[in-house]
Structure 1
Amino acid sequence: MNYVQNIRKYLGHQPIILNGSCGLIFNSEGKLLLQQRNEPQKRWGLVGGLMELGESTKEVMIREIKEESGMTVDVSKLQLLDVYSGRENFAMAPNGDEFYAVITAYIIRDITEVPVINDNESLDFEWYDLNDLPKEIVADHKIVIDDYKKKYMAN
């Protein structure tokens, strides 16, 4: 049983704080890797996930990349983009669980490995041009992508 499942055993659907990491993973052509999630909405999102006890945010990112895509990334490739938290990061899961997310977003550039579906969380992986993204993107991840574009693609 993982950390969140264990907490939910005691707290039910009450709001909790969940910490996680996500990555803007770019290949050598500057295209962004998106993962189509195995969820009812089949939305696209960044690779990432929740922290387990004792992990750093960087360790979360490295583990989630490996678990979800099979790719191995050296921790030295992680560049901090920002940390997202606060009231605007409140969410309710389809099962009624309420949480406030604290998301640490990293930039990872020049990835040469090919992602493969490595778990039951993924339906597909695609490399996208930042100016031609799919419409159905996880809302929190869209904010992270938009922040990246403002900081690194400003004219």
Structure 2
Amino acid sequence: MATPKFILELREKIGHDLLFLSGITGVVLDNDQRVLLVRRADDGHWSLVPGILEPGEQPAVALLREIQEETAVKAVVERLVSVETLPPSSYPNGDQVQYLDLTFRCRYVSGEARVNDDESLEVAWFPLDSLPTLTAREQASIINALFPDQLPRFIRD
């Protein structure tokens, strides 16, 4: 999916300046405790399924939309895993962003995992003992998601 219209409209006003956005991330687990990952088209790295919350959307609903748009997988949200502000970053076109990210544990329901839009180069299920290189934040999110009664992770100081 292309850049959301509301971001393009904001970029017309602020150019490449830092834009604070709400991000959503899914730790999608199947019945075999495999994790659904996407290899991003923008940087080529494997990651949990990411997305951007659009105005008026509820975070869990938006995440399910993103998972289906990017991977053709239907899932259900089970619980919140973490809430954190990510460091500022930039896209190849120079746009500066910083995300408040809400990460959720999700359970696979149906669908064959595949590349379903232009945001991913690959989509695949990975066993927990054979994950590709992920960020420390994503690794922590997966670990937290594995324990059903774990409280959401957040920075306390």
Alignment of 1:1-155 (within 5 A): 2-39=5-42, 41-74=43-76, 77-85=77-85, 88-135=86-133, 137=134, 139=135, 142-149=136-143, 152=146
Check 1:151–1:109 CA distance in 2 against 1; reply closer, same or farther (3 A cut): closer
Check 1:55–1:150 CA distance in 2 against 1; reply closer, same or farther (3 A cut): closer
CA RMSD of aligned residues (A): 2.0
**Structure 2: gaps (5+ residues):** 148-157
Give deviations 1:61-107, integer Å, cap 9, x for gaps: 01101111122224xx331101111xx52112222211211110000
Q: TM-score, normalised by structure 2?
A: 0.81
Runs of 4+ in 1 over 6 A off after TM superposition: none
Q: Answer whether contact 1:22 1:105 (CA < 8 A) is retained.
A: yes
> Which structure has the highest helix share of the two?
1
Aligned length: 144
Distance in 2 separating the partners of 1:130 and 1:101: 26
Distance in 1 separating the partners of 2:115 and 2:17: 33
Distance in 2 separating the partners of 1:78 and 1:147: 14
**Structure 1: gaps (5+ residues):** none
The structural deviation recorded for 1:151 is 6.8
Q: Answer whether contact 1:30 1:110 (CA < 8 A) is retained.
A: no
Secondary structure at 1:89's aligned position in 2? coil
